[in-house]
Amino acid sequence: MAELPEIFKLAGQMRDTLCGKTIQSITLLQEKCANIPPDEFQNRVTNARIMDIRNKGKWIITELHNGENILLSLGMGADVLYFNNEKKQADKYQVKVIFSDGSGYTIRFWWFGKYMLVSDDELASEPNIKDIGIDPFDERFTLDYFSSLMKGKKTQIKSFLMNQKNVSGIGNMYMHDILFKARLHPKKKISDMNDDEIKLLYTSITDVLNLSLEKGTFAYESDFFGKKGGYTMDYFLVGYKENQPCPVCGDTIVSIKTGSTTSYICPTCQKL
């Protein structure tokens, strides 16, 4: 499942490739991924020029010159693939966008995704994105900001970080190693954490996500040009490494239930 590094990379590639292009047509084969009927979608974006593409947490927002915005959520994952000629087009897709220069992209959702159209006026109040918190690649995500966010909270640390309203972009996949590097049990209460632990958690978040980005993001996800990332399972420290030795102390890594998610932890390094 795509998390912040994958989304950040994809949004950047889309921005670099698509800005300035004019939409000629959009085909929506899965109507329930959209918020409006395909005809209306088509009418409101035809001949619109792409001004900017950016991510907000795990959403990708395409800003058009005519006051409209396309909101994309990959859901459980999706292949978003660019093409610059007829032959290279993917044949399986739910969404296809064609630009006036003949290039375009297709989206194939693995499960359910979202592809919505929202005007500038509605953007700030759009229910799916209005409460999304600042993500760790945002320059506003400083240690002071992160500390202030945690102040007075009694929540368990993992569920706090999974909540996209607090910090956006982190999902279950990178969480295991983030908490391991911070030596925190997923069920540790924020109110029981001291300043050093908060600081170590902050650097663990940025270290783990930055390493993935540096290695080209998760190896099972394709980028806008169909290229797989270089962040293979070898880079994971404890995530998905059940019954293997902890890289720090050698104790056996276990998986535990944490609410609706599974967590991989070292029981010695991450005591509750």
* Of 9 and 241, CB closest to Zn ion: 241
Sole residue written with tokens 């590094």: 5
23 counts as binding Zn ion under rule CB under 5 A? no
- Total chain residues near Zn ion (CB under 5 A): 7
Closest separation in Å from C-beta 188 to Zn ion: 16
Residues 6+ apart with CB under 8 A from 130: 124
Closest separation in Å from C-beta 268 to Zn ion: 4
266 counts as binding Zn ion under rule CB under 5 A? yes
* Of 243 and 260, CB closest to Zn ion: 243
Structure tokens, 36? 């409006």
Single-letter amino acid code for the residue at 211 = L
Residue choice 248, 254, 255, 261 for contact with Zn ion (CB under 5 A) = 248
Any long-range contacts for 237-240 (C-beta under 8 Å, 24+ apart)? 237/176, 237/177, 237/180, 237/181, 238/176, 238/177, 238/180, 238/264, 238/265, 238/266, 239/173, 239/174, 239/175, 239/176, 239/177, 239/180, 239/264, 240/176, 240/264
268 counts as binding Zn ion under rule CB under 5 A? yes
Closest separation in Å from C-beta 19 to Zn ion: 46
* Of 64 and 266, CB closest to Zn ion: 266
246 counts as binding Zn ion under rule CB under 5 A? yes
- Distance, CA of 138 to CA of 134 (rounded, Å): 7
Q: Which of the ranges 154-162, 171-179, 190-198, 259-267 carries the binding residues for Zn ion, by CB under 5 A?
A: 259-267
* Of 74 and 266, CB closest to Zn ion: 266
* Of 40 and 251, CB closest to Zn ion: 251
269 counts as binding Zn ion under rule CB under 5 A? yes
Helix or strand run (H / E) with residue 210? helix 195-214
Closest separation in Å from C-beta 245 to Zn ion: 8
Rg (CA), the chain: 20
Structure tokens, 97? 């966008």
249 counts as binding Zn ion under rule CB under 5 A? yes
Site residues (CB under 5 A) for Zn ion? 246, 248-249, 251, 266, 268-269
